[in-house]
Structure 1
Amino acid sequence: MGYSLYTTDHCHACSVVLEYVEQENINIEVYPTHRKDRPHDAFVFPALFKDEKLIAYGDDDIIGHFVKAKAEVQ
């Protein structure tokens, strides 16, 4: 399993994260969803899951997660 990103319509933070993921070529499954069709425990979008566990939400936290992960690899 890997990363899963849940987004919703009309969400600026979702657009920011999607742009970052594309720019950085991050391998991630993206699931557009409606706010009423919440996955798991997500109540804020975008929501980042890894192996079915919520690990970050919102653009700052999600991008920060990937920046930190990238720094640890280098």
Structure 2
Amino acid sequence: MSAYKIRTYQFLAEVHCPVTIFHGTSDGIIPYRCASKLKSVLKPGDEFITIDGGTHQNLAEFDLYKTKLDSLLK
């Protein structure tokens, strides 16, 4: 658990461009249940993408992550 509380949900309200959040279900640093609460503050068109089995460090190993990131960067 972090010693610093970062209230991401407050900052998301100030973002005026599309937002995509990737989060793994096996993240041992930021539990998935905590991150999934951010879905409620996303704007229409924003995305919360769940990577089944993903951890905090290995999302780049998953095809879903690579494919979606590639489409976002085009």
Q: TM-score range by the shorter chain?
A: 0.3 to 0.5
Higher RCO (Cα < 8 Å, 6 or more apart): 1
Q: Decide which structure has the larger Cα Rg and report it.
A: 2
Q: Which has the higher strand share?
A: 1
**Superposition TM-score, scaled by structure 2 size:** 0.35
